[in-house]
DNA sequence: CGCATCTTTGCGTAGCGCGCAAGTTTAGCT
DNA sequence: AGCTAAACTTGCGCGCTACGCAAAGATGCG
């Protein structure tokens, strides 16, 4: 499943990843700014410097493009989890793996948000869209499966036989989702999503001991 | 939210419900038989004896129509849960409420399935469709919220403050989903989904005691 | 019975998803 | 380097979908 070797990818693969990332980011940014129905795929493609037809080579729908960013993030959590030292305590490894994916990215740095409140409101509206909700939950389910597998490999449990890995994975995704929801709602969070996640995992680590 | 009074609805409302049910059932039946992409909305509308335009007055997408049947079912679980005697033990009430919604309906009786294996395979394919998965998860989330509220009302807990009602609701939906998945996979289930659900709830009732 | 209200329906339109067949770029081999 | 096979992009075109709008039909209430 994994590359086996971390960074060894050709120029081709590299470009594909960048295009994919640019498309997804453009989709999110535009939809948050203008609203789901006021953005056509043509505009997303243009913002990513690519033809409209190419958009559909990467994503089969607008919703998929929007959620892809978050899906990739959460999939990278599983990947990161596999690469962390086996001796590290589970919840410590999880906390690290998750937080590593929720730092500012080049894209967000390139596009400084002028009005945080407006951005937040846009995100709320985006997630209110039925199609996006479904796509989001689906992505969460996919990521959850991967995380469960990673946890199983790490704790010596079995995804098919033991309840434990799925339970942990579900809990992790729940924490991520709750943190994001909370970030969307409340207006007083200087630390952003990261601080919310830190807090959530601290509580989890205390309440769900490793077997 | 509830009618307050169970059956008091005019002819108008009655017809609407029937049309909705016929549309959703037609959507499910046709898609299971022929595959998602081989069924157009026009055909679903025709099978339900209604114009294509009317279809979109009831559902805003094919996927929504397909899942509506299951959504209504699970919402009725919450409704039923509110109407059961308050003295009844929680898991007993839940089990009753759920099982009551998974019996043969007039629609299924009118359309006896010739080949069960073929039907099952069709259902599997239907749920393999990305759009359906998303729609399904979304419906599950909606139902879960309603069930959580019903459980809260019944146990004197608070949806916003206590973890318990959400936890129970999530568990109930998980049980339903697992039972359906199991039904789709295994070929040896004389009792259908109902027997699977009974078993699932028996296990749950034993493992998740009321506080 | 007759009016007010809700529902259905047909029509028209903007947009989407994707198959197909060039054209263009990259990888690998000698 | 040079050449070839494979992968990626792009433009074109088509069938379908989702939905606004306005006319026609059904229903409920006094």
When pLDDT is cut at 50, 70 and 90, the band that residue A164 belongs to is confident
Over residues B86-113, mean pLDDT: 86
Q: B167 is written with which tokens?
A: 């936890």
Q: Distance of CA A189 to CAs A12, A19, A208, B85, Å? A: 40, 32, 26, 44
Counting one residue from chain A and one from chain B, the pairs whose CB atoms sit within 8 A come to 28
HEC assignment per residue over chain B: CCCCCCCCCCHHHHHHHHHHHHHHHHHHHHHHHHCHHHCCHHHHHHHCCCCHHHHHHHCCCHHHHHHHHHHHHHHHHHHHHHHCCCCCCHHHHHHHHHHHCCCCCHHHHHCCCCCHHHHHHHHHHHHHCHHHHHHHHHHHHHHHHHHHHHHHHHHCCCCCCCCHHHHHHHHHHHHHHHHHHHHHHCCCCCCHHHHHHHHHHHHHHHHCCCC
Cα separation of the two ends of chain A: 27
Average pLDDT of the segment spanning A93-110:
86
- Set of chain A residues whose Cβ sits within 8 Å of the Cβ of B64: 130
Please provide the average confidence, as pLDDT, over all residues in chain A: 88
Using the structure block, give the residue that is written with the tokens 């109930």. B172
B104 at interface of A, judged by CB pairs closer than 8 A: no
- Selecting from A60, A63, A138 the residue whose C-beta is nearest the C-beta of B137 gives A138
Look up the pTM and report it: 0.89
Instruction: Give the N- to C-terminal CA distance of chain B in Å, as an integer.
Output: 27
Residues 6+ positions from A22 with CB-CB distance below 8 Å: A48, A49, A50, A107
Contacts of B133 in chain A (CB under 8 A): 134, 138, 141
Q: What local confidence, expressed as pLDDT, does residue A112 receive? A: 67
Least confident of B45-49, B71-75, B120-124, B189-193: B189-193
Shortest CA–C1' contact from B64: which nucleotide?
D18
The tens digit of pLDDT for each residue in B140-184 reads 999 999 999 999 999 999 998 888 898 889 989 999 998 998 888
The spacing between the Cα labelled CA in B29 and the C1' in C15, in angstroms, equals: 29
Of the two residues B114 and A165, the one the predictor is more confident about is A165
B50 closest-nt by C1' vs CA: C8
Mean pLDDT throughout A106-125? 82
Tell me which range, B30-34, B100-104, B106-110, is most confidently predicted by mean pLDDT: B30-34
Which pLDDT band holds residue B11 (cuts at 50, 70, 90)?
confident
pLDDT in tens, B59-83: 999 999 999 999 999 999 999 999 9
CB neighbour list of residue A170: distance below 8 Å, 6 or more residues apart: A144, A148
CA-to-C1' span, A19 to C29 (A): 29
Q: Is the pLDDT of residue B2 over 60?
A: no
Alpha-carbon gap: B113 to the closest alpha carbon of chain A (Å): 30
**Helical spans, DSSP H, in A84-114:** 90-100, 106-110
Please check the confidence at residue A167 and state whether its pLDDT lies above 70. yes
CA pair distance A174, A180, nearest whole angstrom: 10
- Per CATH, the number for B62-205 is 1.10.357.10
Mean pLDDT across B113-142: 92
Q: Please give the Cα distance from B131 to B120 (Å, whole number).
A: 19
Domain ranges of chain B: 62-205
Lowest mean pLDDT among A170-174, B107-111, B157-161: B107-111
Query: What CA–CA distance (Å, rounded) separates A65 from A111?
Result: 19
By CA distance, what is B136's nearest residue in A?
Answer: A134
Q: Which of B36, B131, B134 to mutate to test the interface with A (most CBs of A within 10 A)?
A: B134
Asked if B158 CB < 7 A from strand D, the reply is no
Mean pLDDT of A51-56: 97
A89 pLDDT exceeds 90? yes
- Tell whether the model's pLDDT for residue A128 goes beyond 60: yes
pLDDT given for residue B114 in this prediction: 74
Pairwise CB contact (< 8 Å): B138 & A141? no
Round to whole Å and give the CA distance between B25 and A42. Answer: 36
Distance from CA(A72) to C1'(C29), angstroms, rounded: 35
Tell whether A134 lies on the interface with B, counting CB pairs under 8 A.
yes
């Amino acid at each position: 499943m994994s590359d086996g070797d971390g960074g060894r990818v050709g120029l081709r693969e590299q470009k594909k990843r960048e295009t994919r990332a640019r498309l997804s980011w453009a989709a999110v940014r535009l939809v948050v700014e203008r609203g789901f129905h006021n953005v056509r795929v043509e505009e997303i493609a243009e913002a990513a410097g690519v033809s409209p037809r190419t958009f559909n080579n990467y994503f089969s729908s607008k919703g998929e493009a929007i959620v892809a960013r978050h899906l990739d993030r959460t999939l990278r959590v599983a990947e990161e989890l596999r690469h962390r030292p086996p001796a590290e305590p589970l919840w410590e490894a999880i906390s690290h793996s998750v937080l590593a994916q929720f730092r500012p990215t080049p894209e967000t740095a390139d596009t400084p948000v002028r009005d945080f409140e407006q951005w937040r409101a846009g995100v709320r509206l985006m997630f209110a869209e039925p199609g996006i909700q479904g796509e989001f939950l689906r992505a969460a389910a996919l990521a959850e499966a991967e995380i469960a597998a990673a946890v199983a490999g790490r704790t010596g449990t079995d995804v098919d036989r033991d309840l434990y890995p799925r339970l942990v994975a579900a809990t992790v995704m729940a924490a991520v989702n709750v943190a994001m929801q909370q970030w969307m709602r409340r207006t007083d969070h200087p630390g952003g999503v990261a601080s919310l996640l830190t807090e959530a995992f601290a509580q989890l680590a205390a309440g769900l001991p490793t077997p």
